[in-house]
Amino acid sequence: MKQNAYAKVNIFLKITGHKEGYHTLLSRFMRVKHLYDTIEFVPASCSSFTIEGCGDIDTQSNTIYKAFVALNEYTGDLDILEYFYNHKVVVTKNIPSQAGLGGGSSDGATFMRMVNEVCKLGLDVDTLAKIGSTIGADFPFFIHNYESANVLGFGEIVEAFEEEALEIELYTPPIGCDTAKVYKRFKQAFFGDIKRSSFIGWEQIPSRELLARVDALNANDLYKAALLEYPKLKEYAPKGWYFSGSGSTFFRVID
């Protein structure tokens, strides 16, 4: 079994508050159709859960492994354990890490959807998304597998937005942005400046139209925080491009 795990960009990302130690947000996530990792289940005799293709990432830290553990804990289904004694997970990585493209979350979410199918767990999408949200805020979007969606709260609220994914060009500079550090910097420097009235109704505006109305700094609240945390980003920023997530990828729409 083999499936693609697509990257995403944040057309816009606005911080709406802070609760229980985490920021809440309103964002438009959009699939990047030309950039994806592949996840494959390959027959093999394995004494423990085995992942290949993720470089030097420790298995315990891998989002795919975390998804494996979460599914086991939620279902208690021994068929999952049995399956991965007889199969290994092979990942072909194309999505850069620490780039604001959701690669790790997409891999983990795609893995969960695949396991739900091959092990016949019978879990609906909302249940899978709930399990995934315990691992990462981007998981629910990738579980739902929409081309475009508004994402709210801690990332657990995902509402499909009816539009085709745009043709997106990406540029990822040789800088990795730590998501936790960027959010921390935002809270320190910009949290008090939140004006929710400035983005009322954005969730109803088509992505292409919205990007035509705002620049990169106004589209993504985390961009200013990332520039403070990683000043060299400014040297790489292409004029007129937008910033995805906590970075470091810039993107633009191809007309």
| Catalytically annotated residue among 8, 14, 66, 88 | 8
pTM score, whole prediction: 0.95
- Give 82 or 193, the one with higher predicted confidence: 82
Q: Are residues 20 and 78 in the same domain?
A: yes
The answer to whether the CB of 16 falls within 8 A of the CB of 64 is: no
For residue 80, the tally of other CB atoms under 10 A from its CB is 18
Select from 160, 189, 213 the last residue of a domain.
160
Q: How many domains does the chain have?
A: 2
| Catalytically annotated residue among 37, 107, 138, 221 | 138
Q: For this structure, is 138 an active site residue? A: yes
Q: What is the DSSP letter of 122?
A: -
Q: For this structure, is 8 an active site residue? A: yes
Q: What is the pLDDT of residue 154?
A: 93
Select from 160, 179, 206 the last residue of a domain.
160
Question: For all residues of the chain together, what is the average pLDDT?
Answer: 96
pLDDT single digits (tens) 119-171: 999 999 999 999 999 999 999 999 999 999 999 999 999 999 999 999 999 99
Q: Are residues 49 and 74 in the same domain?
A: yes
Tokens of 87: 């199969």
